[in-house]
């Protein structure tokens, strides 16, 4: 089978690496890809935003499955255009992608179906939102309604900070007609994520992970897309997992189906493990980046039939097998990320990958002068081990062997799990 993969990050490199190992694969193609993906796939020069051109390309090249990595094309309705053209697609419709594309939509779904989440109010008027913030306590959480590339959430310690966040949601990039804000209760606890492969009705548990969102060690500095992750997440015991499936995932799938927007694809369940049980922080409608990298390192089964089953609407016969090992990934980012950073700095050499260590490309380009860094998050140095500690040691050894001087990374990925293991 020929497969077209959409995306250009470390998440898509990990997917490409895994899909390319499938005995079922004919040709793997990628749009727009990156130099790491190019080791496993033929890169096609097409515009991801041009859904009609992609559909024509798929028909002309006998593509049997399109795998959509990032959220933007899903929220824009790429899966709908491909499905209308009769092309199987891994990833939800535009209507189902509202689980990530609109925080207000998801919060209302939680209310309707009694899904545990932070108490909240939605506002389309800045003054009313400010009054609400002024009447309540802190900390409080302010969220722009739509996709905001990780910049839409403010955990405000003071009312002033909360008011500034409300104002920002109605101005600039987030503002304009239809702007909306969700103001919600601050939840205390440990964060973890759970993944499910969904076929519109059923959810197949697909592992857990913990990300590290802040830029610097000890969870300091600005929020990022994720500076490193490990899997499985230590606090996600079987009992917690079962509870999340029963109280959060299953009612969500049933609710989406009854709303006429059945969810197909991977559901990323962002959780806060509170004293009173797991609560939903947010949904994403695609694999996490860098969480996908650690999941793919642990997955023993062929990934292609799993993605295809979700696309074709029946995951019931699947039993994915996982390695008993832990996996951990360290994100090497360009100096300045998540703010402004230099592009085009030289990556002079990378250590070779092996069965227990693999470097995924996240933001690189190949030029006449060699490999260069072009993104904020540049490389994902990923390793496995019997313990999180061993996986971390292996990953950090490889990080030290990367010859690129304009980057930084966190030195404490997996620290909480490592402390618990000891
Ligand atoms: P998001 O951009 O939606 O992933 O949110 C960014 C981060 O904000 C999350 O990973 C949490 O750490 C934090 N966050 C979001 N909502 C809440 C909440 N209700 N209570 C506490 N922290 C939150
Ligand atoms: N690593 C967080 C995300 O993919 O949204």
Tens digits of per-residue pLDDT, 252-291? 999 999 999 999 999 999 999 999 999 999 999 999 999 9
State the distance from the centre of ligand 1 to the C-alpha of 272, rounded, in angstroms: 9
**Structural domain includes residue 103:** no
For residues 239 and 160, state if they share a domain.
Answer: no
**What pLDDT sits at residue 190?**
94
Q: Are residues 292 and 391 in the same domain?
A: no
195 and 253 fall within a common domain: yes
How many other CB atoms are found less than 10 A from the CB of residue 293? 33
Q: For residue 147, is pLDDT > 80?
A: no
Could you tell me the CATH number of the domain that includes residue 167?
3.30.1490.20
Q: Is the pLDDT at 151 greater than 80, yes or no? A: no
Q: Does residue 148 sit in the same domain as residue 210?
A: no
- Indicate which CATH number applies to the domain containing 38: 3.40.50.20
pLDDT over 80 (residue 314): yes
CB atoms within 10 A of CB 61: 14
Predicted pLDDT at 173: 64
For residue 15, being part of any structural domain is answered with yes
- Which of 353, 363, 255, 350 is closest to 296 using CA atoms? 353
Contact 302, 318 (CB under 8 A): no
Q: Which ligand is nearest to the CA of 229?
A: 2
Q: Indicate whether 61 and 150 sit together in one domain.
A: no
The verdict on residue 321 lying in a domain is no
Mean pLDDT of the chain: 95
Nearest CA to ligand 1 atom 9: 281
Find out whether the beta carbon of 71 lies less than 6 Å from any atom of ligand 1. Answer: no
Verify that 162 and 233 share a domain, yes or no.
no
| For residues 234-263, average pLDDT | 97
Say if CB 84 and CB 107 are below 8 A apart: no
Is the separation of the CB atoms in 204 and 165 below 8 Å? no
Please state, as a whole number, how many other Cβ atoms lie within 10 Å of the Cβ of residue 338: 20
Contact 143, 181 (CB under 8 A): yes
Q: Is the CB of 282 under 6 A from ligand 2?
A: no
- Site of tokens 């996908």: 292
Distances (CA, A) of 288 to 149, 294, 353: 13, 10, 22
- Shared domain check, 141 and 87: no
Percent of residues, the chain, with pLDDT higher than 70: 98
Contacts of 304 (CB under 8 A, 6+ apart): 1, 3, 19, 22, 24, 25, 65
Question: First CA to last CA across the chain, in angstroms?
Answer: 46
Residues whose CB falls within 8 Å of the CB of residue 70, separated by 6 or more in sequence, listed in order: 6, 7, 9, 11, 12, 286
Instruction: State residue 396's pLDDT score.
Output: 98
* pLDDT higher than 70, residue 390: yes
Which residue among 165, 185, 205 closes a domain? Answer: 185
As a whole number, mean pLDDT of residues 403-422 equals: 95
Total domain count, the chain = 4
Query: Ligand 1 center to residue 356 CA distance, Å?
Result: 32
- Is 292 in the same domain as 195? yes
pLDDT of 24 strictly over 70: yes
Confidence of residue 168 (pLDDT cuts 50, 70, 90): confident
- Nearest atom in ligand 1 to 152's CA: 2
pTM, two decimals, is: 0.96
Task: Say whether both 180 and 198 belong to one domain.
Answer: no
Is position 87 within any domain? yes
Same domain? For 202 and 304 the reply is yes
pLDDT digits (tens, 9 = 90+) for 89-130: 999 999 999 999 998 899 999 999 999 999 999 899 899 999
| pLDDT for the residue numbered 150 | 61
Q: Whose CA is nearest to atom 7 of ligand 1?
A: 153
Whether 40 is in a domain gets the answer yes
Last residue of a domain, one of 268, 290, 312: 312
Let me know whether 154 and 204 are in one domain: no
- What's the whole-number mean pLDDT along residues 358-376? 97
CA of 195, nearest ligand number: 2
CATH number for the domain including 399?
3.90.600.10
Does residue 107 lie within any of the structural domains?
Answer: no
Query: Is 88 buried (19+), middle (13-18) or exposed (0-12) by CB count in 10 A?
Result: buried
Confidence (pLDDT) at 404: 98
Residue 155 Cβ contacting ligand 1 at under 6 Å: yes
> Would you say residue 177 has pLDDT above 80?
no
CA of 268 to the centre of ligand 2 (A): 9
pLDDT tens column, 186-216: 999 999 999 999 999 999 999 999 999 999 9
Please state, in angstroms and rounded to a whole number, the distance separating the CA atoms of residues 191 and 186.
13
> Same domain, yes or no, for 200 and 302?
yes
**CATH code of 199's domain:** 3.30.470.20
- The pair of structure tokens assigned to 372 is 């260069």
- Of 58, 93, 128, the residue at which a domain comes to its end is 93
Is 114 part of a structural domain of the chain? no
105 domain-assigned: no
Domain residues for 33? 2-93
Which of 147, 155, 186, 223 for mutating ligand 1's site (highest number of atoms within 8 Å of CB)? Answer: 155
Report whether pLDDT(178) > 80. Answer: no
Q: Which residue has the higher pLDDT, 134 or 61?
A: 61
């Amino acid at each position: 089978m020929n497969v077209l993969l959409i995306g250009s990050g470390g998440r898509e490199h990990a997917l490409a690496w895994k899909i390319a190992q499938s005995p079922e694969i004919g040709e793997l193609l990628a749009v727009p890809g990156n130099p790491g993906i190019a080791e496993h796939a033929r890169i096609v020069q097409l515009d991801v935003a041009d859904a009609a051109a992609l559909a024509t390309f798929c028909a002309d090249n006998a593509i049997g499955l399109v795998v959509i990595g990032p959220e933007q094309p899903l929220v824009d309705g790429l899966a709908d255009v491909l499905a209308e053209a009769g092309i199987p697609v891994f990833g939800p419709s535009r209507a189902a992608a509202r689980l990530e594309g609109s925080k207000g939509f998801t919060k209302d779904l939680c209310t309707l179906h009694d899904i545990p989440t932070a108490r909240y109010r939605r506002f389309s008027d800045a003054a009313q939102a400010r009054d609400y913030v002024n009447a309540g306590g802190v900390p409080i959480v302010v969220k722009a309604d739509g996709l905001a590339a990780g910049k839409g959430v403010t955990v405000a310690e003071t009312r002033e900070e909360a008011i500034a966040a409300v104002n920002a949601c109605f101005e600039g990039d987030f503002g304009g007609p239809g702007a909306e804000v969700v103001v919600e209760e601050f939840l205390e606890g440990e964060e973890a994520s759970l993944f499910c492969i969904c076929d519109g009705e059923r959810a197949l548990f697909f592992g857990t992970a913990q990300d590290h969102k802040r830029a610097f060690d000890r969870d300091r500095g600005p929020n990022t897309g994720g500076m490193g992750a490990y899997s499985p997440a230590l606090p996600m015991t079987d009992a917690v997992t079962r509870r999340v499936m029963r109280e959060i995932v299953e009612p969500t799938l049933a609710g989406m189906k009854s709303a006429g927007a059945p969810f197909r694809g991977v559901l990323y369940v962002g959780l806060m493990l509170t004293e009173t049980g797991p609560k939903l922080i947010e949904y994403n409608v695609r694999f996490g980046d860098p969480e996908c990298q650690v999941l793919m390192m642990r997955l023993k089964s062929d990934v292609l039939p799993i993605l295809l089953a979700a696309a074709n609407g029946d995951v019931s016969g699947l039993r994915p097998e996982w390695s008993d090992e832990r996996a951990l990934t360290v994100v090497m980012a360009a100096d300045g990320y998540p703010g402004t950073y230099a592009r085009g700095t030289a990556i002079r050499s990378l250590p070779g990958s092996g069965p227990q260590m693999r470097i995924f490309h996240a933001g690189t380009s190949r030029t006449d002068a060699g490999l260069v860094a072009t993104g904020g998050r540049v490389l994902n140095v990923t390793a496995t081990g019997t313990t999180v500690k061993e996986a971390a040691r292996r990953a950090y050894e490889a990080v030290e062997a990367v010859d690129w001087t304009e980057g930084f990374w966190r030195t404490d990925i997996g620290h909480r799990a490592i402390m618990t293991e000891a």
